[in-house]
């Protein structure tokens, strides 16, 4: 499958987990991928691992998406080094969990700055390029927590719910230029993040998932690849939950 030959994709938070899987899947289907992560080591490692399987497809760019100016600069570099971006995937996300009563202001700000402002920064940096690109796509990785909330995650819930509203507004603003903008809301996915959950919590979560299991990073990557493909040209402003039925 080479849906994406001649296409250039930018994936944020691509150093590990879901982001890396998305970058790998797009590379496997022929895209040149800019692998973005604020951790230079995991960023380089992810690109190296993708290039080992799909030579010459991945380039690492270490950048903190919460830093507006740094994102503007990296967008310029990507344009010069790779060319016109067709696909932007906003996957960068952090958690700073804690009950609201005890949550520090900086834990609120860090999560909102990365998860929500980060998407604002990247869309702002790439939107002019996307408007001129072929089959332009913006795909934001939200979360079921942005749809249903979760105790101990007011900051994360707010950031992901905000990302959903942002997705719909961007979809309306850019529709006239044929840029689609959609959100994918993963449920509980097997990653480093969920791997740290105590067994009792895991069991409680599994009880709420009709399909009875956690998802895989490939499940999210497959949905992103579909939304980025020409087959999804008539889908915009949507939030698609990939969650085993958890939020139905």
Catalytic residues: 156
Residue pair 35/47 in contact by the 8 Å Cβ criterion: yes
User: What tokens does 92 get?
Assistant: 């960068």
Question: How many helices and strands (H and E) does the chain possess?
Answer: 10, 7
Do 146 and 104 contact (CB within 8 A), yes or no? no
Sheet holding 87-90, edge to edge: 58-62, 32-37, 8-11, 87-90, 137-141, 180-186, 239-242
| Whole-number Cα distances in Å, 102 to 90, 114, 153, 229 | 29, 21, 12, 44
Distance of alpha carbon 126 from alpha carbon 192, whole angstroms: 29
Residues of 83-100 as b/e, b for ≥16 C-beta within 10 angstroms?
A: ebbbbbbbbbbbbbeeee
Contact criterion met (CB below 8 Å) for 180 and 137: yes
| Contact indicator for 28, 53 with CB cutoff of 8 Å | yes
**Distance between CA atoms of 126 and 9, rounded to whole angstroms?**
11
CB 134 within 8 A of CB 86: yes
């Amino acid at each position: 499958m080479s849906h994406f030959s001649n296409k250039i994709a930018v994936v944020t938070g691509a150093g590990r987990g879901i982001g890396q899987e998305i970058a790998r899947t797009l590379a496997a289907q022929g895209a040149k991928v800019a692998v973005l992560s604020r951790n230079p080591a995991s960023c380089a490692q992810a690109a190296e691992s993708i290039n080992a399987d799909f030579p010459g497809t991945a380039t690492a760019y270490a950048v903190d998406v919460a830093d507006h100016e740094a994102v503007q600069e990296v967008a310029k570099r990507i344009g010069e080094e790779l060319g016109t971006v067709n696909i932007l995937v906003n996957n960068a996300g952090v958690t700073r969990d804690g009950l609201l009563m005890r949550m520090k202001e900086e834990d609120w700000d860090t999560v909102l700055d990365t998860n929500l402002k980060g998407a604002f920064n990247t869309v702002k940096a790439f939107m002019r390029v996307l408007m001129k690109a072929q089959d332009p796509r913006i795909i934001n990785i939200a979360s079921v927590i942005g749809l249903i909330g979760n105790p101990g995650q007011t900051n994360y819930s707010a950031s992901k719910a905000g990302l959903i509203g942002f997705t719909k507004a961007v979809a309306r603003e850019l529709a006239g230029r044929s840029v689609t903008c959609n959100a994918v809301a993963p449920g509980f996915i097997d990653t480093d993040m969920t791997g740290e959950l105590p067994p009792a919590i895991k069991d409680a979560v599994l009880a709420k998932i009709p399909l009875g299991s956690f998802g895989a990073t490939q499940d999210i990557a497959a949905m992103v690849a579909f939304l980025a493909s020409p087959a999804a040209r008539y889908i915009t402003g949507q939030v698609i939950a990939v969650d085993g039925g958890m939020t139905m």
